[in-house]
Amino acid sequence: MSFQDAIKVCFQKYADFSGNAKRPEFWWWVVFCIIISAILNMFLPIIGGIFSLAVLLPSLSVGSRRLHDVGMSGWWQLIGLTGIGILVLIYFWAQKGK
């Protein structure tokens, strides 16, 4: 999956928490969010904050679909709230899909 395809799919499935997301779709989305957020926060912090809020739901959605692809529930994303749990999530997200 190319970068443009991954971004397009994630915006098309804006709030779709069902189904699966392959590794390239998820990781291209993460790269897109990090790059755009960093650029916007350097020059226009208010717009960067608005962007971050705008991509929160699709980020949760693609994270949930990625966890479904490795055979886990999307609710596992809540472990990220513990701080150290983000490392566990990265491990799950990096696994090969089933």
Distances from the Cα of 18 to the Cαs of 69, 78, 80, 87, in angstroms? 10, 17, 20, 23
pLDDT in tens, 27-48: 999 999 999 999 999 999 999 9
- Cβ-contact 28, 1 below 8 angstroms: yes
Q: With 90 as the cut, is the pLDDT of residue 50 above it?
A: yes
In 3D space, the residue among 24, 53, 60, 23 whose CA is nearest the CA of residue 36 turns out to be 53
At residue 90, the pLDDT reads: 96
The stretch 68-86 carries a mean pLDDT of 95
pLDDT above 90 (res 1)? no
62 in Cβ contact with 17 (< 8 Å): no
Which residues, 6 or more positions from 30, have their beta carbon under 8 angstroms from its beta carbon? none
**Residue 48 contacts residue 41 (beta carbons within 8 Å):** yes
